[in-house]
Structure 1
Amino acid sequence: MAARGGERDPPDALQNRIRAERAKKERQWQLLFTQYTVNPHRPVHMVARKPMAWHENIHEPIDDEFLNLLHRAAEVPRRKYSKPQTESQEIGWHTTPLVPLDHSDIRFYFPRWTTEITVHGYPAPRGQKSKD
């Protein structure tokens, strides 16, 4: 079949060489996986067992490695890692205060003060009027 502009399709030998080169390049970057595990970053949804199924009532020994993998996946990042792994984890990673809180030091301790003026700003509970 002729293409537009009067050009012809390349012969079969040329097409074959192009396909072979493409297959070679694809095989170069292809990885073969033989060990499969559960993705620790995805939640596992448990399904209830069928009481009358014989194959589900067989008790198998618990795989400790798999159980540890599931428990580790459910932990928060601060317990998993010693340092933040992403830029967004750096925010709030260190929560211990740099200076210990001292209630007698007015430079770092700002308690809420209520005065006659600020009492009117607090919302009253439902069904009650504010103090006037």
Structure 2
Amino acid sequence: MAAGKDEVDYVRKNLIHADTVKKEQRYQKLHTEFSINPFRKLHVLPDKPMSRKPPEALLEDTTFIEAYRRVHMEPAKKYPAPITESQEIGWIAGPLIQENHQDPRFNFRRFKTDVTENAAFFRRGLK
């Protein structure tokens, strides 16, 4: 057996461990702000019916209400541009050009001609 394989180099192991800890701490971030998860349903329990104390005035948490409303908005209202490629299809839901009812290229209204008036006349006479 070789003498080098059985020996454990504790100094080298400690240096590797210290280097690993430094790398982990470099990318750690301390979170100090916490909020309620807007994806979970919130259950508010009422007071007991026979309690004689007046109900406490509940103040609305506007940040939670805004976060809840934002979660339930459609992506086109939340973000200025599509986040994924699949959102690009249908992102602009409105018409691409303004509607102009006078433009004959886009409006195909019925026109009365002598042929259609005669056909309507004969149809009325057959009934």
Fold match (TM-score > 0.5):
yes
Structure 1 residues 9 and 82, CA gap change in structure 2 (3 angstroms): same
Q: Which has the higher contact order (CA 8 A, sep 6+)?
A: 2
One of 17, 20, 23 as aligned partner of 1:19: 17
Quick one: distance in 2 between partners of 1:50 and 1:9?
68
Give the match for residue 96 of structure 1.
94
* Greater percentage in helix: 2
Give TM-score, length-normalised by structure 1.
0.56
The number of residue pairs the alignment matches comes to 96
Larger Rg: 2
CA RMSD of aligned residues (A): 3.1
Equivalent of 2:61, from 60, 63, 78? Answer: 63
1:1-132 correspondence to structure 2 within 5 Å:
7-39=5-37, 43-47=39-43, 49=45, 51-52=47-48, 58-98=56-96, 100=99, 102-104=107-109
Give distance in 2, aligned partners of 1:95 and 1:70: 24
C-alpha distance in 2 between matches for 1:60 and 1:98: 47
Distance 1:9 1:104, change over 3 A: farther
The TM-score, its normalising length taken from structure 2, stands at: 0.58
Q: Runs of 5+ in structure 2 lacking a partner?
A: 100-105, 111-127
